[in-house]
């Protein structure tokens, strides 16, 4: 298993994986972590695609993924991949697409355990009332990501 650290506008991101694919991407909580000076070959494409995303030059990812999770969690994460760039869905709508509106809490829990920050876009799931509910990286990061992906950019009047 290889790990690299890259600088993003939201903090230092950790990316881990091996020849079977990327297993995790997360924003680090440790302020002492520094960006890697050398990215392992197995992670270079993932690091490059994340940088392109933050530069506004990438709207989807083309990477081999290998997250660890239960079958249900993987089903939820696969469903998250169907949410288009610049769009959002609700936890209830996601549960309905999974085939059971009653699984909303389980789906929300699996969403919160997503190990592939940004690549599997859990930040695109919002509350039924449009509120930014729950985000492991902090609601301010969720807001930043949704604003970053919004095709209509707010212009300054001054």
At 66-113, the pLDDT tens digits run 999 999 999 999 999 999 999 999 999 999 999 999 999 999 999 999
Indicate the SS3 state at residue 2.
Answer: strand
Q: Which CATH architecture has domain 71-149?
A: Orthogonal Bundle (1.10)
CB 84 within 8 A of CB 125: no
- Strand 89-90 relative to strand 125-126, pairing: parallel
Helical H segments across the chain, by residue range: 41-54, 71-80, 91-97, 104-112, 139-149
| Per-domain boundaries in the chain | 2-54, 71-149
Give the closest residue to 118 by CA, choosing from 35, 72, 58. 58
Q: pLDDT tens digits, residue range 43-55?
A: 999 999 999 999 9
pLDDT of residue 135: 83
Q: Which residue has the higher pLDDT, 133 or 72?
A: 72
103 alpha carbon, distance to own chain's centre = 21
Q: Is 116's pLDDT higher than 60? A: yes
In which band, very low, low, confident or very high, does the pLDDT at 154 lie, cut at 50, 70 and 90?
low
Q: Which residue has the higher pLDDT, 47 or 29?
A: 47
In which band, very low, low, confident or very high, does the pLDDT at 155 lie, cut at 50, 70 and 90?
low
Tell me the catalytic residues: 122
């Amino acid at each position: 298993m290889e790990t690299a650290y890259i600088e993003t506008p939201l903090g230092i991101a950790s990316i881990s994986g091996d020849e079977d694919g990327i297993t995790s991407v997360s924003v680090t909580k440790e302020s002492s972590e520094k960006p890697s000076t050398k990215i392992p070959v197995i992670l270079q494409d993932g690091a490059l695609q994340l940088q392109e995303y933050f530069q506004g030059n990438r709207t989807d990812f083309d990477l081999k993924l290998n997250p660890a999770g239960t079958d249900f969690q993987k089903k939820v994460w696969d469903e998250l991949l169907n949410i288009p760039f610049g769009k959002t869905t609700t936890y209830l709508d996601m549960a309905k697409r999974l085939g059971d509106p009653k699984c909303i809490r389980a789906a929300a829990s699996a969403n919160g355990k997503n190990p592939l920050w940004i690549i599997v876009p859990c930040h695109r799931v919002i509350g039924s009332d449009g509120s930014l509910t729950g985000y492991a990286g902090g609601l301010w990061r969720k807001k930043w990501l949704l604003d970053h992906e919004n095709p209509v950019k707010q212009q300054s009047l001054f």
